Amino acid sequence: MRFAVLGDLHFTEYSTPEFSQARDYTFTSFFTQLRWRQPDLVFAIGDTINRGTIAELVEQERVVHRSGVKLIRLLGNHDNDLLEKSELKPWFLGSFNSAGEDGLYTAFDYEHCRFVIMDTARVKMSHIDYGGIVLEPQLKWLEAQVEDFNSAVNLQYLIVLGHHPFANTTHRSEKPMLFISNGDEVLKIFGKLRRGQGLYFCGHNHSHSIYGPVAGNWFIVQAGAPFECEGYRLVTVDKDGLELETVDFDMNEPELRNSFELTRRNIEGGFELHLFEDMYGKPEDRELYIKR
């Protein structure tokens, strides 16, 4: 099986039609290129939208649908800036219901993988604290997931996805609010994994980075924002093991490059762009192979 992880998309609305068109052109191209690689599942790791409005989600869904992709969205701080989690619910977790009332989180199995989608977003707090947090009920639920995985011998990979990284692991995660504030509690739970391989995918810090092993047998994979890194993570799991590659979008078409620049440079309220070479990742941040 194969799954893709898209970093922070920061899809937004523009008051200038030219920029809206550029946005649609850019994302249609990105999602179409992604579909060519035929992933079974596509995750958007949070900050899927920029301001946190339903209008952004409606527009994004239109482009996603037109491109033939089904997106499983996770909550990031930007998604949760204006609305309650209950209001955002129809747009997140794909077709899954949340396993708890304190956030939008769920788990499901696909072939030899268990996917655990976490919610690390604070509600309407980005203006003062855009860091992550995992509340007590979700922590308990996560622990039950790990214990259940330990006894599920048909499963080999525990794939956890959450928007925020862990402090002092992946690139930039040592900076204020670029991590889960109670991440040590989450890592303690990860440490209870007794068999198989754990992987945690995150976004938020906008750069491609891989860290590990940590908490026993876990790797942390940070997916860079397409607006900064121009690519996404693609993971193939087969009988030999797990292979992670980083796929760069083909940006050779001048119209795509031009649309991409218009889209990312005209986000209302601003979008901080960093140096491409700082965010793209070193070779060891872009590939990972785990033999079974």
Which positions lie near Fe ion, rule CB under 5 A? 8, 47, 76-77, 204
Residue number with CB closer to Fe ion (217 or 222): 222
Nearer to Fe ion, 77 or 209 (CB): 77
Shortest Cβ distance from residue 253 to Fe ion (Å)?
Answer: 26
Q: Which is nearer to Fe ion, 204 or 233 (CB)?
A: 204
CB of 266 to Fe ion, least distance (A): 17
**Closer to Fe ion at the Cβ: 8 or 24?**
8
**Cβ closer to Fe ion: 12 or 156?**
12
Distance from the first to the final alpha carbon of the chain: 14
Q: Shortest distance, CB of residue 178 to Fe ion, whole angstroms?
A: 9
- Closer residue to Fe ion, CB minimum distance, 196 or 226: 226
DSSP the chain: -EEEEE----B---SSHHHHHHHHHHHHHHHHHHHHT--SEEEE-S--BSS--HHHHHHHHHHHHHTT--EEE---TTTTSSS-HHHHGGGSSTTPPPS-SSS--EEEEETTEEEEE---PPSS-TTT---B---HHHHHHHHHHHHHHHH-TT--EEEEE-SS--TTSSTTTTSTTSSBTTHHHHHHHHTT--SSEEEEEE-SS-S-EEEEEETTTEEEEEPPPHHHHSEEEEEEEETTEEEEEEEEP---SHHHHHHHHHHHHT-TT------HHHHS--HHHH-EEEE-
Q: Min. distance of Cβ 179 from Fe ion in angstroms?
A: 11
CB of 84 to Fe ion, least distance (A): 18
| Min separation Cβ 50 and Fe ion, Å | 8
